[in-house]
Amino acid sequence: MLYEAILNNKSYLKLTDKIAGMKFITDDKWDWEHGISHYKRVANFVKNILEQLDADERTIELGMAAALLHDIGLSESSTEKVDHAKKSSEMFRKFLIGTDVTKKEETILEHAISDHSKGENLNSLIDVALVLADKLDVTYHRTINSSIQDDVNKEFQKIRNVEVCIDDENLIVKYKVDGVLNFSLLKKWEKMISIPIRIAKYLNKDCIFMVNEKVVKP
């Protein structure tokens, strides 16, 4: 499977280890974890989302591969982030050498990876799944070791689990939270709200947010 082939690539693992040891603090962003654990969690989210969207097995396989490769451009940063989505979309092909990925599929992956940061040019289910999955993975697991422990990061650490449920009419983001979630703080990283809404609109669905099984309006 493509997912395992990438995870067994020694050059890939060396690159992800490098990224895991880097810090990115620019433009009021927080140096959240960007290592292999993040990529695997995003891949699991992608799989779940694509299954709910009735994607075929190959699309799911490609989506999970995109999740593993979406942030590799961060390896080109120094103390500041480069345009990591664009850089990742320029680098990912070298980790597909020897796999069965076609040129057409490479083009799909390139677009998904390049658009994953903002989701401004959605045109495939892989685009949808990757940008949404990446934004769902801002929780306790990803922020607890940040070198900046401000009020916003501490608020994210209340989020212990996120689940997305997609039915015929709705895209529902369910947060399992330790305590009470202050959305006014979380809105300082507006993508956690704007991206699910954008994805829901693209899918012609309503977007619903829930905290500990109660509907909320962030």
pLDDT in tens, 6-15: 999 999 999 9
For the stretch 176-213, pLDDT in tens is: 999 999 988 888 888 999 999 999 999 999 999 999 99
Residue 100 has pLDDT above 60, yes or no: yes
Instruction: Give the number of domains in the chain.
Output: 1
- Entry pTM: 0.93
* pLDDT score of 193: 93
Whether 24 and 31 have beta carbons less than 8 Å apart is answered as yes
d(CA 45, CA 39) in angstroms, rounded, equals: 10
Domain residues for the domain of 202 are: 2-216
| Nearest by Cα to 186 from 217, 215, 151 | 151
Pairing of strands 206-211, 214-216: antiparallel
* pLDDT score of 26: 61
In terms of pLDDT, which residue wins out, 142 or 41?
41
* pLDDT score of 136: 93
For the stretch 47-95, pLDDT in tens is: 999 999 999 999 999 999 999 999 999 888 765 556 888 999 999 999 9
**Bridge partners for 173 per DSSP:** 164, 209
pLDDT band at 28 (very low <50, low <70, confident <90, very high): low
* pLDDT score of 40: 97
Residue with tokens 């900046």: 148
d(CA 196, CA 173) in angstroms, rounded, equals: 8
CATH number at residue 180: 1.10.3210
